[in-house]
Amino acid sequence: MTDAALDATYLYSGNPDHIVTGYITYIRESQGLDASRVLLGSNASDSLSTFRINGSYSFQNTVTLSAQRFETSGTADTALYGGSPNSSGWTAEIAYVPTGHKESSWFPDGMNARLSLQYTAYDQFNGTSAHASDNNTLYLLLWLAAG
């Protein structure tokens, strides 16, 4: 089977205090599942498409705001996906990196950190929009590294 993908990136960093990025990705997968069909009862073949577009704005490499739209669609297959893989929604994130701007960083030298809050809101999940929001998620992440 053949898979195809397309992606593009945009970066504006003309002013070091203001960085803007944008990404777009599309992936189309085709799967031959002869062995899975015999073992699991899946379809003989499936297709899966993924689309994502996101952008972010970073101020002084310290505070970053990001947003993403995502959509996944494909062949319904109970054995592989438990039904339909069709899902879509939005993700928003705010991140703080205290070491991003060295001149004003209060963080200890040799340490890196990232604190972020991310929310994902689904408008479709596993092929249905009914109760899709029951799968919405909120992540709080603290990442520390010594270097």
Q: Return the minimum-mean-pLDDT range out of 16-25, 87-96, 97-106, 122-131.
A: 97-106
Give the number of other CB atoms < 10 A from CB of residue 77.
23
pTM recorded for the entire structure: 0.82
How far, CA to CA in Å, does 16 sit from each of 36, 43, 60? 51, 51, 7
Is the pLDDT confidence value at 146 over 70? yes
Q: What is the pLDDT of residue 127?
A: 87
Picking from 80, 58, 84, 61, the residue whose alpha carbon sits closest to that of residue 71 is 84
Is the pLDDT confidence value at 105 over 70? no
The stretch 97-116 carries a mean pLDDT of 76
Q: What is the pLDDT of residues 114-135, one digit of tens each?
A: 999 999 999 999 888 999 999 9
Q: What is the pLDDT of residue 57?
A: 97
The stretch 55-76 carries a mean pLDDT of 94
Give the containing element (helix H, strand E) for 74.
strand 63-74
Confidence category of residue 41, pLDDT binned at 50, 70, 90:
low
Token pair, residue 26, equals 């599309």
